[in-house]
Amino acid sequence: MYAEDVRIVCPCIPFYLDEFSAMRKCWCGLFIRAGVEDGSVLHGVSEPPPGPVEVRVAAEGDLREGEGKAVTIGKRRIALFRTASGWHALSNVCRHWGGPLAEGGVEGEFVMCPWHGWRYDVRTGATDHPDAEVKVYPVTVRDGEVFVTV
């Protein structure tokens, strides 16, 4: 019955919701997104997507210039920023003590970690400290929606 089926929850979905949305199914194929008309290509166990996956993370109006916010894509913690040069996404983990970069102050194209003040270039992930840059992710804005590719 539909009422009973609705209560069934895959234990993986809360941790991989963005990936499932992009693939339109869970890895085992037990849960399939609404709108899939031809399920024949979705049967069986599959591997995670082989290449990059584009995930919607915000609406264009969610952030003003100079603001940031934390987003989670799968197991990745990502800091999303809007600056004068556009949208940027980088690891949300400062390489010093793991501070949340998304909570840091933004000055121009730089974010300062709120814990100890390390500065990162939001465009490149570079910092003044040797071998301490953070990973950056491509950002695309399309039809008022912001996407990060992981």
Of the candidates 48, 21, 15, the one whose C-alpha atom is nearest the C-alpha of residue 147 is 21
Helix (H) or strand (E) holding 5: helix 2-6
Q: What is the pLDDT of residues 103-143, one digit of tens each?
A: 999 999 999 999 999 999 999 999 999 889 999 999 999 99
**pLDDT attached to residue 27:** 60
CA distance 75 to 126: 22
pLDDT surpasses 60 at 1: no
pLDDT surpasses 60 at 45: no
Percentage of residues in the chain having pLDDT higher than 70: 67
Q: What is the pLDDT of residues 48-71, one digit of tens each?
A: 556 788 889 999 999 999 999 999
Cα end-to-end span (Å), the chain: 37
Of the candidates 53, 54, 33, 29, the one whose C-alpha atom is nearest the C-alpha of residue 42 is 29
**Which DSSP category does 24 fall into?**
T
Domains of the chain: 2-42 (no CATH), 54-149 (2.102.10.10)
- Between 141 and 22, the more confident residue is 141
CA distance 6 to 142: 33
Q: What does the mean pLDDT of the chain come to?
A: 82
Of the spans 15-19, 74-78, 97-101, which averages the highest pLDDT? 97-101
Percentage of residues in the chain having pLDDT higher than 90: 52
**pLDDT attached to residue 112:** 95
- Between 75 and 117, the more confident residue is 117
Of the candidates 44, 50, 40, 19, the one whose C-alpha atom is nearest the C-alpha of residue 29 is 44
Of the candidates 87, 116, 111, the one whose C-alpha atom is nearest the C-alpha of residue 101 is 111
Mean pLDDT of 8-26: 62
pLDDT surpasses 80 at 77: yes
Q: What's the pTM value of the predicted model, to 2 decimals? A: 0.68
Are 112 and 118 in contact, with CB atoms under 8 Å apart? yes
